Amino acid sequence: MPKTIDAGALAEHRSKEREVFGLANKLRDFANHTFRLRSSIDTAATGVLSTIWTSPEMPEKAVWRVSAQIVGRATSGGAAVVTADIYALFYRELAGSVTQEDVTYSASTPIATVAGTDADIVISGETILVQVQDDGTREFSWTAVVSVLESA
């Protein structure tokens, strides 16, 4: 005769299963040397690049592919939205400084743009910065999801 499981016990097992899957995904990311972070910043209509994310110090003998998916929304001076999907490759030799391989690339054509806005990935000392720029006439609220893939 088949065994039956009551609905409460079944729900508890499903909840534990979801927790295990979440942990497994985090372990997979760790093993693949990747991490993701969501970061936000408001800019004050300055028209200059502002840092939305700063990496930890890049280790020696590392190679990083840094990508950022960015959205911005004007919070003053009229409606405007901006998107950017950018990436760049960096490396650091033993006892060397961080170097960017080639340039920062756009992964896709932006869905929305506003003249004067910008996004970039740059080096600052031994760290990497993701930066955004408003158009100089409107304040913007920015959000970025930054991913780093590291070669072992």
Distance CA 4, CA 7 (A): 9
Rg value, the chain, Cα: 21
Distance CA 64, CA 126 (A): 12
- Res. 100: pLDDT tops 90: yes
| Token couple for 51 | 């840092």
* Phi, then psi, of 151 in degrees rounded to 5: -80, 135
Tell me what pLDDT residue 151 has.
82
DSSP string, 70-85: EEEEE-SSS--EEEEE
Distance CA 71, CA 141 (A): 8
Q: What pLDDT digit, counting tens, does each position of 37-78 carry?
A: 899 999 999 999 999 999 999 999 999 999 999 999 999 998
Distance CA 24, CA 19 (A): 9
Question: pTM score, two decimals?
Answer: 0.77
Element (H, E) at 133: strand 127-133
